[in-house]
Chains A and B, each alone.
Chain A
Amino acid sequence: MSTKKSAKKSTKQSTKPSGKLSMKSSAKKTKAAATPKSARAPKRTAAKAAVKATPVASASEFMAHAYAMEAEAAERYAEFADSMEMHNNREVAELFRKLSRIEQRHADQILEQMGWKQSPVSSADVRWEGAEGPETADSTELHYLMQPYHALQIALHNEKRARDFFAHLAKVTTNAGVRKGALEMEEDEAEHVRLIEEWLKRTPKPDPNWEADQDPPVLSD
């Protein structure tokens, strides 16, 4: 598996497939992180999936898992976008839609790099240490009044989980091909983390009362 470390590019920039075996291209850098924890939400705990490796015995299996991870993340962001759109939060909907497209592009790149028409392993059959993939956003973190900053927080959290996942996999695997791929991925994910952190710096922080709703859903009297 060859390394294709993405050059530093703008976060908004899309990337073309490298044609090589790097699992995540610079396209991923465009990804905004997602972790919109509402003020009411309990304190986030690190997902188990981010720190425990899934058993992969070959480079091909590794890529199939990577594909599943990207596809699952893309599906979740698309779901978030639909939900935000339905609740007329168009700005955040657009951001999640972008994240979904980026993740899907990464998934497609893996297929292309491996010469697969489809992954040999159905994404639904892949099992992680946690309930979902290391890059899949937690579905309970949404709030209908959330702002782009929250969406980026979610994405940042997921990128960190993905980075930790690959780092751990590289550490524990006994397969040289898997280790090489995992290290490349860890490096890519680490760069995505940095990019999203930069993006967050440019994004206005929400007002402390961002959750305030003059017509709240809970009956108040």
Chain B
Amino acid sequence: MNSPAVAAPITAQAFKSDYKPIWCPGCGDYSVLSSFTKAFAKLDLRPENVAVVSGIGCSSRIPAYTNCYGFHGVHGRSLAAASGLKLARPDLTVVVASGDGDGYSIGGNHFLHACRRNVDLTYVVMDNHVYGMTKGQPSPTTEPDWDSKLSPGGTGLRTFHPLVIALAAGANFVARAFAGDPNGTADIIADAIRTPGFSFVEILSPCITFRPEQREWKQMVRQAPVTSTDDAARAARRIMTDDGFNIGVLYKGGRKPYQPPIGKGKKRPSDLEAEFTL
């Protein structure tokens, strides 16, 4: 984890860029952006000490809307890029932004191994159960009976269960948040950043354009009735038996992050270039 800077307190506004989001009006991702900046301010970080890395999709536009270092990368490969960045620059706070399509489908394999490696990253997935940017196809977390023009009668496929999978694969911090609670979500993101190792935060972020019924989520979410546990088996049982609307930190472990020593055998760019010269 990154150590906080010691200068004067910073405001959330200081982390916002001059670019205005182009998300649909009412999108939950606006509030997630707000939670990002509030969390960074809460931790007294500085934009130059934070990197926001993303893949492709509506949620992955977030790096442009912050004035931290940003990398809007390849579809599903945000965790690979972020892992490389964190291992090379452990001094940076690295936060990864993704969505349920980018993170669980195209990037599903990277998700498993990022949990397993336990690099000190915070992985935030804005889950709206749909591919919004490409006009409403079912994603891995879409309900099997969700009927739409693009999936008549529903897909009939079992939904992906990201929190349990993260837990089983070795994530060191697992939480669920709701975009409609930006302050609570900021607290969870800050906690995730503070916790060493791979932290996974799934945020229920409504897509009211393609899933207008998700407006009802604000009536459905609730604080998890129990505090977080460091017992993975207990956390898994809780997650498997809830209805997907319990909010809070659900698991916090104590695994040591993966961080090989850096500096030894470091090659100069010219050396690397020479290796690739034909």
Residues of A within 8 A of B (CB): 38, 40-42, 45, 75, 79-80, 82-87, 122, 124-127, 131-132, 138-144, 146, 217-221
Contact = CB atoms under 8 A, between A and B. Distances in A.
B210 A218 contact: yes
B193 to A, nearest CB: 15
- Interface footprint category on B: 35 or more
A42 B135 contact: no
A146 B179 CA distance: 22
B28 interface: yes
Given A124-B38, A131-B178, A217-B24, A42 B30 contact: no
A124 B42 contact: yes
Contacts of A83: 21, 23, 25, 30
Contacts of A85: 20
Interface stretch (B89-97, B156-164, B181-189, B267-275): B181-189
Interface majority SS on A: helix, strand, loop or mixed? Answer: loop
14 contacts: A42-B213, A79-B30, A80-B25, A82-B21, A84-B25, A85-B20, A122-B42, A127-B183, A131-B183, A131-B218, A140-B206, A140-B218, A143-B25, A143-B26
Contacts, number: 86
A131 B149 contact: no
B149 A87 contact: no
A61 to B, nearest CB: 17
8 nearest CB pairs, A to B = A142-B25, A131-B181, A142-B26, A124-B38, A83-B25, A82-B20, A140-B215, A40-B212
B34 A75 contact: yes
B150 A219 contact: yes
